[in-house]
Amino acid sequence: MKPTDDAGSFDEPATDSSSHVTDVATAQSLFFRLPRELRDEIYDLALLSEPTLYCELTLRKGSPPQRRTYIGRDAHRTCPNSQFEIEYSAAAGRRVKSLQAGEDRNGFYLTMPSPSLMQKKYQSLYAKAEEMWLEVSKVQQEDGKLRHNVHAFMLDIPLSLFRDLKVVDDTGTPTVLIPSVLFAFKFPEKAELGPRLRFDLWWDKTTWREHVGDFDCLRFPSDDGSILQQILSIAKEVNWKGSVCEYMIWQRYLVIHARRGGSLAS
């Protein structure tokens, strides 16, 4: 076609939104013509570039944990009910289950939470548990004391691999990707006493065991011990039958250390 203006630009082929939708639909239809087994292989490879996998576990008294696994926050997902999103989330769920059981097919495994090397050098007796925290609401009672309700236990576990997984950033510079799984244990039956606040947990650095590289005690920011008692009582109320891996995560990363620790005056 001939130029249409003084700048010498050429007319572009006529396009509209319907043709774009058609192109996307065609590409999707070609992908979904592949066997499900091959699509799952593609999903598994794509998951390696996800920085964080999210796993929500809703705990109710007398009921088994309700599990939901997804990639990214729901608000950022463009088509949460599309076939792609459903299948991709299912692949993420399978990967998280394999990580809970030991390691995934790529050799990744869940690490144990621990203070950073920099925190270990501090002279204080406590180090913030950066990879875990609580969501708590509170209200001041008539006697002046604070009452707390725990609504969620958040556990962000980094993955480890015998070799670094290198990716390239926006500038083309190779970087090391350290992915993680963010577990959210939610307790919907706890009444909201006010705005939810983040309550940090603290490692007691005097309980470091060098021969296993682990800390024994988690300290909780509570004057009366109510937060600690709520945490220890939750597992007793949940029906963990058929959810052994979830129960082991709950016990291994929180309850064992909480029992050995205690309340830390806030």
Q: Are 219 and 263 in contact (CB under 8 A)?
A: yes
114 residue type, one letter: S
For residues 5 and 152, the model is more confident at 152
Q: Does residue 1 lie in a domain region?
A: no
pLDDT of residue 116: 60
**Separation between Cα atoms, residue 22 and residue 29, nearest integer Å:** 10
Q: What is the pLDDT of residues 121-154, one digit of tens each?
A: 566 788 888 889 999 998 888 888 888 899 999 9
* % the chain with pLDDT above 70: 71
HEC string of 116-169 equals CHHHHHCCCCEEEEEEEEEEEEEEECCCCCEEEEEEEEEEEEEEECCCCEEEEC
Task: Let me know: does 216 contact 136? Beta carbons within 8 Å.
Answer: no
Which domain range does residue 216 map to?
Answer: 115-153+189-264
List of residues 6+ apart from 46 with CB closer than 8 A: 88
Let me know if residue 183 belongs to a domain.
Answer: no
- For residue 65, is it within any domain? no
Both tokens assigned to 75: 């608000």
Determine the pLDDT at residue 187: 94
C-alpha span between 194 and 251 (Å, rounded) = 28
Residue 3 has pLDDT above 60, yes or no: no
pLDDT digits (tens, 9 = 90+) for 225-263: 788 888 888 888 899 988 999 999 999 888 888 888 766
Q: Which pLDDT score is estimated for 198?
A: 93
Rounded distance between C-alpha atoms, residue 8 and residue 6, angstroms: 5
**What is the C-alpha separation between 230 and 236, in angstroms, rounded?**
10
How many domains, in total, are found in the chain? 1
CA separation for the pair 71, 75 (Å, rounded): 11
Answer positive or negative: Cα dihedral of 103, 107, 110, 112: positive
Mean model confidence pLDDT for the chain:
78
Is residue 6 over pLDDT 70? no
Cβ–Cβ < 8 Å for 215, 203: yes
Mean pLDDT of 40-66: 91
Q: Is residue 104 assigned to a domain?
A: no
pLDDT of residue 96: 93
Q: Which residues pair with 10 in a beta bridge?
A: 3
Instruction: Decide if 49 is inside a domain.
Output: no
- The answer to whether residue 137 sits within a structural domain is yes
Distance between CA atoms of residues 85 and 79, nearest Å: 7
What's residue 249's pLDDT? 92
**Lowest-pLDDT range, 13-17, 36-40, 251-255?**
13-17
**Structural domain contains residue 60:** no
pLDDT band at 12 (very low <50, low <70, confident <90, very high): very low
The answer to the question of residue 215 being in a domain is yes
